[in-house]
Amino acid sequence: MSKLRLVLASESSRRRELLGLLGVPFETVTSDVDEIPRSGESDLEFVRRMAREKGEAVADQVPDAVVLSADTIVSLDGEILGKPRDKGDARRMLRMLSGRQHNVYTAVSTIHVIKNTRHEGLGETRVWFNDLRSETIDDYIRREEVVDKAGGYGIQGFASVFIPKIEGNYANVMGLPLPLTYDFLKRHGLVS
């Protein structure tokens, strides 16, 4: 029998970096899932469904693996702030977040394809933003690529100067809650 593989169902460089910290060899296979909320779907229902569907799409391609998938959203008063369409949309999101507290949710799903066992969980981090002037937002958008980040910001970059406080797991805001991920890999026998 061949050795069980770990496959990350993501093209996110941040998720690859975080998963690499756990010291488990893995490969990546990207999924092609439409990330569109359904009518009446809550923020938590959406993020959980996205993580599950991304994993299922990749599991069909890798029969001898454990598939790890995740999805991250920024939620402000229950409204999903996904990846901005463009810099103008990022500006709109950052104005909404200015001077407010919001939640970052990352749903994690694992599928052991051979055993057909699954684990699903949710990381939650509360994030506070300072008040941001329009000039500050414009400067940030010029400094960093914002359209590939939920809510239009990345905590690991310059946006960290806007964030005086978080409650919860820092890596969760980057896109992969490591304590939850490690626990799931342990349950599948990939770490001891």
Q: Which domains does the chain have, with CATH numbers?
A: 5-187 (3.90.950.10)
pLDDT at 92 over 90: yes
Residue 19 structure tokens: 């998963």
Mean pLDDT over residues 57-82, rounded? Answer: 95
The C-alpha angle 64, 70, 73, rounded to 5 degrees, equals 170
Local confidence band at 32 (pLDDT 50, 70, 90 cut-offs): confident
Distance, in Å, from the CA atom of 115 to the CA atom of 95, rounded to the nearest integer, reads 47
pLDDT at residue 151, as a whole number: 95
Strand 65-76, strand 5-8: pairing: parallel
Is 148 buried (19+), middle (13-18) or exposed (0-12) by CB count in 10 A?
A: middle
The model carries a pTM of 0.94
Mean pLDDT over residues 16-33, rounded? Answer: 95
Among 53, 45, 55, smallest CA distance to 9 is for 55
Mean pLDDT over residues 41-69, rounded? Answer: 96
pLDDT at 87 over 90: yes
pLDDT at residue 117, as a whole number: 95
Local confidence band at 4 (pLDDT 50, 70, 90 cut-offs): confident
Distance, in Å, from the CA atom of 177 to the CA atom of 104, rounded to the nearest integer, reads 11
Torsion sign (Cα): 21, 22, 26, 30: negative
The alpha-helical segments, DSSP class H, found in 38-128 are 43-59, 87-97
Say whether 113 sits in a helix, a strand or coil.
Answer: coil
User: What residues have CB less than 8 Å from 27, skipping those under 6 apart?
Assistant: 5, 6, 7, 8
Region of residue 151 (phi > 0: left; psi between -120 and 50: alpha; otherwise: beta): left
- At residue 162, what is the residue type? F
- Catalytic: 86? no
Mean pLDDT over residues 71-76, rounded? Answer: 96
pLDDT at 192 over 90: no
Mean pLDDT over residues 149-175, rounded? Answer: 96
pLDDT at residue 3, as a whole number: 78
Torsion sign (Cα): 38, 44, 49, 54: positive
The pLDDT mean for the chain works out to 95
pLDDT at residue 156, as a whole number: 94
* Options 71, 89, 131, 139, the catalytic residue: 71
pLDDT at residue 2, as a whole number: 46
Q: How many residues does the chain have?
A: 192
Mean pLDDT over residues 10-15, rounded? Answer: 92
pLDDT at 1 over 70: no
pLDDT at 25 over 90: yes
pLDDT at residue 140, as a whole number: 97
pLDDT at 79 over 90: yes
